[in-house]
Amino acid sequence: MLPPCPKKKSLIFLGSPQVSVTVLEALFDASASPNSSFEVAGIVTQPPSRRDRGKKVLPSPDGVQETGVSLAFTVRKLDAGPVIASERFQVDDQIKAPELLSFLFSEGSKLLISELPLIFDGSAKSKAVPQDDSKATLAPKNDSIDDAQIAPDEAWLSFDQEAFVLHNKVRAFAGWPGTRAKVVVLDDKSGQENELELKIITTRIRQNTEMLNGEQDYVSFEKGSLVFPCGKGTALEVLEVQLPGKKAINAAAFWNGLRGQKLKKL
């Protein structure tokens, strides 16, 4: 066993948002070891993004199949610090933004701790790879909301779009701001129509659209999911929804609550 390090390096932690606590906890745990070469003296930032990804700081509804984490030195320019190390990960097509963010911070914490010895002895600088800061871009500003990057009306789903576009939006906007859809409940007996606002929680892309039943404007229920016909002959399966002021429920519970009434998309 190695003797305890006589003098530990002081480490200052700067991090946000709340999920960055994962990194801080990992640093505290590692620093508690008698053989640790550092101690947390204050509360180096690890961004949850691959270095060659687009630089926009927004939810990513593009359905990318690969993401990653990177460690970089901080400089006085936007996304220009030399990259010390990075790792790539495949993205599950069902994972949502909050879960992916937590995963990336967890993996980034491991990468940070493994690279700290090289940062402390100075060798990390010699191996760090410069970034092409000419590719750095600002997130598009929304003129309708000061400082905000996502307008409230962006949370609405438009079913004339293809299913994969809507599915990826649901995943990207999970947590905040969420995604919503408007539907109409039709009672054939009374002729009444009631408009409902649904928060769409969990979805998946329907693989077999040849089995779609009914008209394209109507929502069907098949094998535990609400099936919404979408653009270009695609279909989105909604597995979990939430009514205003209510708890999230699965599609079967929502469908049973309709008591035979029809559901039409808007």
Look-up of token digits 């438009």 = 158
Give the predicted TM-score (pTM) of the model: 0.81
| Residue 107 and residue 189 in one domain | no
Of 223, 225, 224, nearest to 163 (Cα)? 225
Of 186, 178, 181, 176, nearest to 159 (Cα)? 181
What integer pLDDT is reported at residue 192 of this predicted model? 94
What integer pLDDT is reported at residue 195 of this predicted model? 97
| Residue 110 and residue 171 in one domain | no
What integer pLDDT is reported at residue 155 of this predicted model? 93
Name the β-bridge partners of 238: 203, 226
Distance from C-alpha of 83 to C-alpha of 49, rounded to nearest angstrom: 12
What integer pLDDT is reported at residue 14 of this predicted model? 76
Q: What are phi and psi of 118, to 5 degrees?
A: -70, -30
Q: Which CATH number covers residue 158?
A: 3.40.50.12230
Measured from the Cβ of residue 49, the count of other Cβ atoms closer than 10 Å reads: 20
Query: What is the block-wise mean pLDDT of the chain (266 residues), using blocks of 10 residues?
Result: 64 77 89 86 58 49 86 88 95 94 94 94 94 79 52 91 97 93 95 96 89 77 96 96 97 97 96
Is residue 144 a part of any domain in this protein?
no
Cβ neighbours for 45, distance < 8 A, ≥ 6 positions apart: 14, 15, 20, 74
Cβ(230)–Cβ(259) below 8 Å: no
Is residue 45 a part of any domain in this protein?
yes
Residue 131: left (phi > 0), alpha (psi -120 to 50), or beta? beta
Is residue 128 a part of any domain in this protein?
yes
| Residue 96 and residue 161 in one domain | no
Its domain, for residue 130, covers: 9-135
| Residue 36 and residue 130 in one domain | yes
* Number of domains the chain is built from: 2
Look-up of token digits 């010699």 = 126
What integer pLDDT is reported at residue 145 of this predicted model? 42
What integer pLDDT is reported at residue 12 of this predicted model? 81
Pairing of strands 38-42, 66-72: unpaired
| Residue 86 and residue 200 in one domain | no
What integer pLDDT is reported at residue 55 of this predicted model? 41
| Residue 75 and residue 181 in one domain | no
